[in-house]
Chain A
Amino acid sequence: MASGDRPDISMTPDELEDFLSSARAVVLAGLASNGWPLATLASATATPGSVRATVDADDLIVASIDEGGSVCCVLDAGISYYEIKGAVLRGRVVGLSDPGGTCCVEVAIDHVVSFDFSKLPEAPRT
């Protein structure tokens, strides 16, 4: 069990790597200069240690992303309740480029939280 009375439903490292390898998009979140949170949907490739996210250059979030700044990437998937899986990856921007009207953000991940509802104690076992 995890801390408190909540079960540990996190993915193993291998499960997380598998889950991320199939991802094609992440929710990319940052903070505006005045502190308001920002978010957009980015095309992406992800591993447990890094995310490469691409958004249009005129997306609202672009002006608020700087090298060294903190961002958060969120993914989830699943059609039925006990198939829901997801991950929240937090890290720092280590690279920015602007190929062809897009903004490409390289993120080094330093904190990961994952969940897999099939691991809930009440989930049906196959």
Chain B
Amino acid sequence: MNDDRPEVDHAPDQPPGDPVNDVHREFLASHPQVFLVVRRPDDTPMGYPMVGRWADGALEFSTYRKSAKVRHVEADPRVCCLCVPRDSELEHRVLAAWGRGFIEMAGRDRWRAAIEGRETAPAGIAVPDSVRAKVADRLATSKRVVLRVELESAAFVRGAHGLR
């Protein structure tokens, strides 16, 4: 390969992208299908398909407290959230957003309320009542936790042009 790729000089501990603006926030609030990418302790990337929830100015995910992703984020809180709208006919853009994740116990009550009061899941997938009840119970008993990501930057990515 001709190595004329653009040089990207990543500043120490600064994520790529631009400061988060209202367009980014609205996009994240409208499209909950998010791929959460973290750094594993062996210095390799790991991605997880997730349903995100925009809450109080940050992106939140519900996950098992003992999950590998929680361990990875506790070891290195830097994450990339790739927001890929499920309906690519209506929205072809893909947004990458970067921030630091942490477990926020207070978020469990918000999630439980949202789950119990929601008719349809945010990602446009009808989640059976039994599954929602199970998630609410796991949140109540702290088997599940809320991973909250305070975003620092974001950028619409090029990806594969014309793919979507």
Chain A interface residues toward B at CB < 8 A = 24-25, 27, 29-43, 54-64, 70-74, 76, 78-82, 84, 86, 88, 90, 96-98, 102-103, 122
Contacts and interface: CB of A to CB of B under 8 A. Distances in A.
Given A39-B35, A72-B37, A56 B160 contact: yes
Given A43-B163, A54-B160, A81-B127, A63 B6 contact: yes
Nearest to A70: B44
A25 B17 CA distance: 23
B131 A29 contact: no
Interface string B2-27: 10011110111111110000000000
What is the interface of chain B mostly: helix, strand, loop, or mixed?
loop
A88 B52 CA distance: 18
A40 B16 contact: no
A17 B158 CA distance: 28
B113 interface: no
Contact of A63 (B7, B76, B79): B7
Contact of A29 (B5, B11, B45): B45
What is the interface of chain A mostly: helix, strand, loop, or mixed?
strand
Nearest to A57: B5
Contact of A34 (B13, B44, B82): B13
B10 A33 contact: yes
12 contacts: A25-B160, A30-B45, A34-B14, A36-B98, A39-B47, A41-B94, A55-B158, A56-B159, A58-B6, A60-B157, A63-B6, A73-B47
A59 B163 CA distance: 14
Given A32-B8, A81-B128, A72 B47 contact: yes
Contact of A64 (B8, B49, B82, B127): B8
A38 B1 contact: no
Contacts of A35: 39, 43, 76, 78
Given A37-B80, A41-B84, 18 more contacts: A29-B46, A34-B14, A36-B39, A37-B37, A38-B37, A39-B35, A39-B80, A41-B160, A41-B163, A43-B160, A60-B16, A62-B6, A63-B6, A72-B47, A74-B35, A81-B128, A102-B160, A122-B130
